[in-house]
Structure formats: C-alpha cells, structure tokens
Amino acid sequence: MSDTKASTESISLRHISKLIDFIHSLPGHSIYIDITGMGPDLWAPILRAMLRQSEKKLHCVYSEPRSYTFADMPIEGTIFDLSSKIEGISPLPTFSNFTDPENPDKVAFIPLLGFEGMRFAFILSKEEPSPPIIPIVGAPGYMLEYPFYTYWGNKNVLSDIQYWKHIRYVPAFCPFSVYYTLLELRKNYKDYFFKLAPIGTKPHGLGAILFAINYHRTTEIIYDHPVVKPTRTSGTSRVHVYNVSDADLINISNEQN
C-alpha cells in the first residue's frame, strides 16, 4: 500500500483562467460536479470555467430531496422552512454584467419560481422590474403537489400584479428544458435584455446559468443569496446526471452575444 498525502489548494472563483488551469490538472477525461448541496455562487463559476475548455467532459449531478421541511406555522410565502435570511442581491462570481441594456424599455424579467414567495417579493422590491415579467414554474414538479405549493407560496405577488397570465411551465428537474424555453423567449422578445432570477429548483437554476453563459452580453443573473437551513430537506429521491458538455446547446463554449 502506498502512502497518499492529502493536499489543499485555494483557488479564487473569480479568476476563470486559474479555474481552467486547475481543471486541466485533474486526471481523467470526465468531471462530475454534485450541485445538490452547493449554491450557485460556488458551482456557477466552476461551470463557466469547464465550458471554456474542451479537454474534459462535464457532468452535473443533482439528487432530489425526498421531502422538504414544513414551517412550524406555514403561511403564504413561507410554506417550508428553507432559508433563515436573505443576504441581498449581488452578482455571482464571474457573472458581473457591466453592460447596460441598449434600450431600457426592452428588458424582460424572468423569475424561476420556487416555494419561497418571500424571495420573489424581495427581488421585486429591489429590482422594480417593468413588464414583460415572465415567471417560470416547475411543472411537473418533483412531486405531484409541488406546483400547487409554488402557486400558494407566490400567490400574493402573482395575483396582485397578474403575473400568472404569462407563466411558462417547465419540468422542475430539467435544466435543458429551461434553456430552450429561454431560447424561445429570446426569439419572441428580440433585442430584449434578459434578467433571470433563479429562485426555484436547482435544475432550473442550472438551465438559467447555462443560458447566461451563452448569452452573457444580453443576460444578467439576479440572485439574492439566501442562507439555507441545514434541516431544509430530508432524504434523497431521484438522482439526475446532466451531460452538460454533450448537450445540444448553441456554441455554449464560445459564449455568444
């Protein structure tokens, strides 16, 4: 038996070139990233670096929770006990967008909704978006009843401003369906700048991040950085492996305009 020495190395998530160098140093031809327990502030810059190189194949792994923890006193906007607080809106590492929309009147706000209506309300209060506002709901959900929880959790905001009229339904577990839904919206809203708020399922967030990477000059990620509770879920259900490198996405490694 040979001795193996563990080593640690600190790599800034804000330097794509250093991330790429680190990726090249890893053995093998395929890399699997388990995004289940990580926030997008960790896995999104790694994903971007992976897609900037072509030597290794990227697979993202996600395990659905068996169940979510209900709040002690469920109310609209806080059905499940998922987050303790919201840190505030700030860019994800390497996803800062300093390009202002060419036409301020052509900005589409697209929230990918989850159970936490308070997060949707918080982002709306900070961003104050103008129409078009096009929510995306995960349907079918991980469980049959989950889309109804999404509606209940976001009921006040959706009904007060009638966003429900423009809702798009995308399977909660499919990042590629989100990507192609956004691509369809991009064709319908030509010359629009997209603001995406991934506050729903992690696969939906993955699809939004993939789209933002590919269309980075006309897309901005709006993220509120919630502090999640360690007891928010229990158990595991289906495990998904997304073959991101071989997905039929349009020149994603080249980051199109």
Whichever domain contains 68, its CATH number is: 3.40.50.11700
Q: 149 in a domain, yes or no?
A: yes
Residue range 98-116, pLDDT digits in tens: 777 878 889 999 999 999 9
202: containing domain: 16-245
Q: 205 in a domain, yes or no?
A: yes
Q: pTM for the complete prediction?
A: 0.90
Q: How many domains does the chain have?
A: 1
Q: 221 in a domain, yes or no?
A: yes
What is the reported pLDDT for 74?
75
Residue range 20-67, pLDDT digits in tens: 888 888 888 889 999 999 999 999 999 998 888 778 889 999 999 999
Q: 256 in a domain, yes or no?
A: no
Q: 257 in a domain, yes or no?
A: no
For residue 198, give Cα distances in angstroms to 20, 22, 107: 25, 27, 17
Rounded (10°) angle between helices 40-51 and 202-214:
40
Q: 250 in a domain, yes or no?
A: no
Q: 254 in a domain, yes or no?
A: no
CA nearest to 184, candidates 227, 142, 136, 223: 136
| The pair of three-digit structure tokens given for residue 128, joined into one six-digit string | 């104050």
